[in-house]
Amino acid sequence: MKKLGWFAFFVVFFASCLDDPDCYQLHNDIVGVTFRVMGTGKGDSVLLKNFATDKFEYGPSYQYILNYFVEEGVFGFESKTQTNQLSFGYTVKNQFISEDCGSAFVLSDLRILAHDLDSARVVNSTPSKNGGTNIEIYRCPETDTLTIDFNQLYATSNGVTITNKRSTYKSHQFDEIDADFSDNVFTGRAATVKLPVNLAERATAFVFKTGGSEETLTVSYTLTTEERYKPCGTQTFVTDLILGEHSFDSVSFGVDNLDEPVTDLQDPQISNLRVFDCPKTNLVQVAFKSNNAAKAVTIESITADYFTDNLLTDGPITSTTVALPVNMGANASTFYIQYNDGTIDTLALQYTVTGLQLYDACPDPVIIQLRESSDVANINVVQATLQYQNPPVTNVEIIVD
């Protein structure tokens, strides 16, 4: 026990001698500013101008270097639509560290002097040497934003059982999304769209326009007008969202961390509604090959025995693969693939249309036992069961030597 005591004594003594001051990053001159949303307190990713690069950058928090030769400063937050300022003060002291390191500026007592933001507070009054949050800036929540994400359903089936059900985000090109109280509330390509609901009514109907097709969706909800956050004044909040009529394949509520449906409009937004596209069960995946390697071909047109219009509505394509829709109302389909050199491959397929559906909301049947109607030398069926996966699984190979 006595030896252990002496040992401990020497260890502490020796360790204390080794602890020389660290000359790296002497000054604690970094202040972290984090943006949050009032109410939930969740982080808010904001688009601000980086004055060092003169570019706008997204971020939930930013780090600033303080000038330790003065004891006041101003942060300017320039977004694309507005500029805000926050002035602050701090105390600077100096400590001589060592003859090797010199002295360090020690900053403390960070405090907000004035600002024109919704709300701001100091959460750590001591600036740091390597980052962290010192000031939190809160903005009033947006109360009218409905968030919808778009997904593609997938599954695997052998014609008897269905496995590997899943979905992935799928971006759509929206030529225009109109609300019943305001036209063109969104344009562009996105997998998630944020749409305003009508705070003057208890329901909003949307029309999603893509190409020549339109999808519709209606939601109703409860409106509550009150002052929840003093800096924000009186606001109207949307809760108890109800999904009305829609023309999509499937729509369901998004869920939160507790797996509860997100029926209140929240800020920062999480998906209130999830739109699902059913898998197209009749697509035969064709791959073009040459010398056992993928070969890109230019296809002028694709027609079939059950449709005469060219499948390639946007003109010729150059690709190593193509997806051909077989006729689900029959057990055989024949396709005519015309290449840019004028040659034509005829792909005659037979298959079995089962009564099995991949999802309750998806009525199209599973197709199995794909095979050639008659054996053609340069055409091989390599996967007889259609798989509804991403990336697609090749069913037929066409040799184009």
Partner 1 sequence: MWRSSLIKIALLTMVATGVIAQERDSVRVDSLAKISFIPTGIRVGTDLISLGKTQFQEDFKGWEVNADVDFYRYFLALDYGGGSRTFNSDSGNYSNDGTYWRVGIDVNFLLKDPDRNMFFLGARYGRSNFSQDLTVYAHNQFTDTFELLTYADKGVNAHWYELTGGLRVKIWKMIWMGYTARFKFGLKYEDTEKIIPAEVPGYGQNYKDSYWGFNYQIFVRIPVRKQPPLVINSKKK
Binding stretches for partner 1 (CB under 8 A): 2, 6, 9-10, 12-14, 16-17, 19-21, 65, 67, 69, 92-103, 105-106
Q: How many CB atoms lie within 10 A of CB 113?
A: 11
Nearest distance from C-beta of residue 10 to partner 1, angstroms: 7
Q: Residue 61 has what DSSP assignment?
A: E
Instruction: Give the whole-angstrom CA distance, residue 277 versus residue 250.
Output: 7
User: Among 189, 222, 183, which residue's Cα sits nearest to residue 206?
Assistant: 183
Q: Closer to partner 1 at the Cβ: 8 or 47?
A: 8
Q: Closer to partner 1 at the Cβ: 15 or 200?
A: 15
Nearest distance from C-beta of residue 99 to partner 1, angstroms: 5
Q: Closer to partner 1 at the Cβ: 21 or 231?
A: 21
Nearest distance from C-beta of residue 24 to partner 1, angstroms: 14
Instruction: Give the whole-angstrom CA distance, residue 361 versus residue 363.
Output: 6
Instruction: Give the whole-angstrom CA distance, residue 286 versus residue 81.
Output: 50
User: Among 254, 257, 248, which residue's Cα sits nearest to residue 271?
Assistant: 254
Give Cβ neighbours of residue 398 (< 8 Å, ≥ 6 apart).
Answer: 286, 287, 288, 289, 337, 345, 347, 378, 379
Rg (CA), the chain: 32
Q: Closer to partner 1 at the Cβ: 74 or 296?
A: 74
Q: Closer to partner 1 at the Cβ: 86 or 337?
A: 86
Nearest distance from C-beta of residue 14 to partner 1, angstroms: 7
Q: Closer to partner 1 at the Cβ: 100 or 375?
A: 100
E strand or H helix at 16, and its extent?
helix 2-18
Nearest distance from C-beta of residue 76 to partner 1, angstroms: 15
E strand or H helix at 251, and its extent?
strand 250-253
Nearest distance from C-beta of residue 13 to partner 1, angstroms: 6
Q: Are strands 396-399 and 203-210 parallel, antiparallel or unpaired?
A: unpaired
